[in-house]
Amino acid sequence: MRFETIGEAMQSGETMVFGHRGASASAPMNTLAAFQLAYDQGADGIELDTRLSKDGRLFVLHDFTVDATTDGHGCAADMTLSQLKRLDAGSWFSSEFAGEGIPTLDEIFDSFGDALLINVEIKSTRNSIGRMEKALADCIRRHNLRERVIVSSFDPVILKRLSGMMPMVMMGFLYQPETPAEYCLALKSMQCEARHPRHDMVDAGYMNWSRAQGYHVNVWTVNDSRRACALKQLGVNSIITDDPARIVAALAEC
């Protein structure tokens, strides 16, 4: 374990590597197998997506539906955790991962909370507003991971609500070129220490601006070695990648 806390890592001056949904280039995204592989490949942390089930449990899945990455069909938020747990979330990727399930956030925290830093992206629906933030705050407290987790979202309102519940937890605003300007303006009224831009938005001018504002910069999603080295030289705090092994090796050489 290289860093004890997110804050220590962000202040270290090093460029960290986070596995995007785990080592998702080599294992089914957002599964225990993918997160374990990211750890094995030398990642400093993992990035994951969390949602709220019909019965109020936090589980890890990117899409609104289960169709693309499991053998099931339908809206994930309309299913109970028991229904979600019966799905195969590995076979779509490879027969090697047949039977790999959808993990809960508790399972991820239990398995990797002491070994990896964790970037939790909130995936929320209208029906889960408020309940999602409370469930996540309770889960982070239960595992005592306030200083090892960073919470990210494309929605500044969600970040503002969660920041009010957990001021010790670092917040990261996700955005891309088409993000509405008013979303960025909304952040001025809240504590949000990190910016998570799409990597092609970042150049020397962007980094000068972010440093002047006191923001940490964590970029997504970078799978090219040369681009990773360029971002390291610009001074980004972390690189989120589908291929931790490739980017860890690249950063060691540049």
What pLDDT is recorded for position 37? Answer: 98
What pLDDT is recorded for position 1? Answer: 65
Residues 176-223 have pLDDT tens digits of 999 988 887 777 777 899 999 999 999 999 999 999 999 999 999 999
Cα 209 from Cα 211, distance rounded (Å)? 6
What confidence tier does 172 reach under pLDDT thresholds 50, 70, 90? Answer: very high
- Helix (H) or strand (E) segment spanning residue 6: helix 6-11
3-class DSSP state for residue 153? strand
One-letter amino acid for residue 140 of the chain: I
Fold of domain 6-253: TIM Barrel (3.20.20)
51 φ/ψ angles, rounded to the nearest 5 degrees: -130, 170
Residues 50-102 have pLDDT tens digits of 999 999 999 999 999 999 999 999 999 999 999 999 999 999 999 999 999 99
Angle between helix 131-142 and helix 105-112 axes, rounded to 10 deg:
30
Q: From the centroid of its chain, how far is CA 67?
A: 21
What pLDDT is recorded for position 247? Answer: 98
Overall pTM surpassing 0.85 (yes/no)? yes
Class of residue 84 by CB neighbours under 10 A (exposed 0-12, middle 13-18, buried 19+) = buried
199 in catalytic set: no
Residue 239 pLDDT exceeds 70: yes
pLDDT mean over 229-246: 98
What pLDDT is recorded for position 11? Answer: 95
20 in catalytic set: yes
What pLDDT is recorded for position 36? Answer: 98
Residue 46 pLDDT exceeds 90: yes
Residue 148 pLDDT exceeds 70: yes
For the chain, percent of residues with pLDDT exceeding 70: 99
Catalytic residue among 20, 143, 196, 216: 20
Q: Give rounded-to-5 percent helix, strand, coil for the chain.
A: 40, 20, 40
What pLDDT is recorded for position 2? Answer: 82
What pLDDT is recorded for position 187? Answer: 78
